[in-house]
Structure 1
Amino acid sequence: MLTSVGKFLRKVRIDHGEILKDMADKLGVSASFLSAVENGKKKMPSDWNRKICEIYKLSDEQTLDFTKAIAASEKTVEMNFSDASFSRKELAISFARKFSDIDDDQVEKIKKILSEDNKNELY
């Protein structure tokens, strides 16, 4: 089944007059891998967000749409704690444990805290 990311990537390809293989070549992967990502059988590599925005010169609005498509398609999130302090690890694990209990109001508050607009308020 085509994912939100798959729909977005397909639209970008069509808008640029490309076929699956063209985009796959630009991303340095096989057409079958790109197809598997589009269909939700493989996880999209994290560096594709940046690559696709750069390769296809996405507008700010397209970049936001792409980010939303990625979020809608994600089933799991992997975090690398190799350089994280104990305090940061503890925060991430606590957040993960409480994630399903967070209501919409709390989600909006957390998003506001994490937004770029409030970056200075965190320090």
Structure 2
Amino acid sequence: MKITEFGKAVRKARLDAEISLAQMAEALGVSPAFLSGMETGRKKIASDWVAKIQSFLDDRGVRVEGLAVKADVSNQTVSLEGLSPAHQMLVAGFARTSLTSDEMDNLKKLLEAANTEKEKR
């Protein structure tokens, strides 16, 4: 099975931290097969695992930007739980809209700018 964007990011971060899959699995209290399953898309990535993996990597001085988004893409689903009705409508509408490459690039830049502003606060 092909490695997902989430898996690529986590593997690169592990390599940067000089941590093997087995070492990370042991530290998180799971099997290497469990972590491998998340990296390759064989296993869905729960939001609590995104947080645990991010925390594990943060503790080792490695920050992975957009890990939760990468997990959503790997899972091929986005939870609307906890979002306002307006936000839910925006997400659903965006998912069903056909956009050109230029329009996608513009929206990506807008989202990146909004996230950068949010992180400053």
> What TM-score does the superposition give when structure 1 sets the normalisation length?
0.64
Structure with larger Rg: 1
Q: Deviations over 1:8-64 (max 9, x none)?
A: 5445545555443211122332222012123321133332552243133116xxx35
**Structure 1 unaligned spans of 5+:** none
| SS of the residue 1:74 aligns to | helix
State the superposition RMSD in angstroms: 3.2
> What TM-score does the superposition give when structure 2 sets the normalisation length?
0.65
Counterpart pick for 2:107 among 88, 107, 110? 110
Sequence identity, in percent? 28
| SS of the residue 2:96 aligns to | helix
Per-residue deviation at 1:88?
Answer: 1.5
Structure 1 runs (4+) greater than 6 angstroms displaced: none
Matched to 2:50, the amino acid is S
Aligned to 2:58: 54
**Structure 2 unaligned spans of 5+:** none
Are 1:13 and 1:19, in contact at CA under 8 Å, matched by a contact in 2?
A: yes
Change (3 A) 1:96 1:24: same
Aligned to 1:42: 43
